[in-house]
Structure 1
Amino acid sequence: MSIAYLNGAFLPLDQARISPLDRGFLFADGIYEVAAVIDGRLIDSASHLARLERSTAAIGIALPMPVAEIEAIQKELVVRNGVDEGLVYLQITRGADESRDFIAPAGLTPTLFLFVQHKDFLASPAARDGIAVATMPDLRWKRRDIKSVGLLAQTMAKQAARDAGAQEAWMVEDGFVTEGASSTAFIVTDEGIVTRPYSEAVLAGCTATALNALAQESGLAVVRRPFTVAEALDATEAFIASASTFCQSVVRIDGRPVGNGRPGPVATRLRALYFAFARQTGV
């Protein structure tokens, strides 16, 4: 039985109980993070915890403990669950409130919940063969830089992508790709690796940030600008980045092949560089 953490206690996941009056449940008033685990160690932990601090501060939730203590809980969950490759999910909400008022009363105790998932990254068939994406109108709110638990638009986009035979959705606004439903979007052109600059319109991806740095350290040009779906279809390669996929080639967009319809050399190289980075820097 998987061991989770809830508000100060490690306990079997099926025994974790959160109040139905929790504002995360009633209002999506909360923040989440997902950190990868390779070889039993957290990957890019400092980046994820810094983003957790930024997101909670943006909506006015005070972390119940320093991030170093949160990281210690994550590590303990990895050990207790014997996770070699996988993910640690963390969610913090403003807490339970009997009034169900849009304006939360002062002094609520935040709810902190973590659990783990086992996942095979190295032998992923999607990494070997690439994935398809389907483009969707971006229906989300305007503060996408905040990693909110309010994921209805992304869920709807993912379901529509699945129905179209794709594994990820690319959100499109004003003719430009913003990002994936749960990933950062990249294309490769004559300019180099093209990806959108960070702003309130997109989430600053931790894995994407690491990939950008690794690319530049390896002499690959990274161009920060928006790109259109038409540009993506004309690109030599496309790929996504996230904590749960790392660097994954996109071989079809809306049913049309990208490049030769196979994972390309740039994404393949970056994936290898990221795995080396992960193994060197995991904690």
Structure 2
Amino acid sequence: MLRIRYEVNGGPEVLFAEDVAVPVPGPGEVLVRVEAIGVTLPTVRKVREAAEPAHLGGEVAGTVEALGEGVSGFAPGDRVTGLCFAHGYAEHALVHAAMLSPVPDRASAVEAVALVRSGLVARGAQAAGRIEPGETVLVTAAAGAVGTYALQYARAAGAGRVVAAVGSAGKAGFVRGLGADEVVLYEEAAQWGPYDVVLDGVGGDLLAPAVRALAPGGRLVAFSSGGGTVEAYELLVRGASVIGFQMAAIARGEPQLYERRRREQWELHRAGALRITVHDTLPLAEAAAAHRIIEERRNLGKVVLVP
């Protein structure tokens, strides 16, 4: 089978295609014939920044081919999606059963990897921010895979004004089409605000101005892998708070909530209330090109690899 290997750190140019044997599922694992792979920013950053080569994980969707010992709830032929932590850039992937969920018959594999994980992160960030009707909400990385859903969930929560923060003016029309009332640029961060809630998917150098943009009593939800530093004084003078959110805490610690939200998002999509956003689909062998799209911040929604 075809698999993409990461040899040394440095960027997309270190991704290579190789032919390897189809893996055998171990205890608790499911062998999935992969039909779509969602490229994530943490994986792209890992390739660029990791000190040593690491397995290429990602969001995968496809069909169950075999079950490891002790797996129940799935059967060969089931259509599933889930998060693969090792060797996800491949025609077949091993996924722990606890990380898998079913894909509705009406949905494609590409739709599944574009919606499920990114949509659940956005939904979780919206809930963590406790958005109240009429409040002003800023969403950073608004044109990204998670940000596109965060805009829609903020609107659905009753936000009075939804503001999209993006890296270039060329993305303004796209995010307005997803419900943004206003668009601001990262280069204008010093003039942002005030906002009741900030859903921050960027972090890093953008985190400090995002905190300063909070209104009195405002809340910032940090859910990116970009890090960043918060000055306690900035929170003190605003009576504001910063809330960290990680999807794994819900998936592992509150599986019933995770499952309920997963079903809800598919229902919202079917009703036309949640739009799936896919920037492009590329062949698996072009994984390096997919990484470049994200590194250069050109994507409008999810970038998907198709074996």
Q: Same fold (TM over 0.5)?
A: no
Higher helix proportion: 2
TM-score (norm 2): 0.29
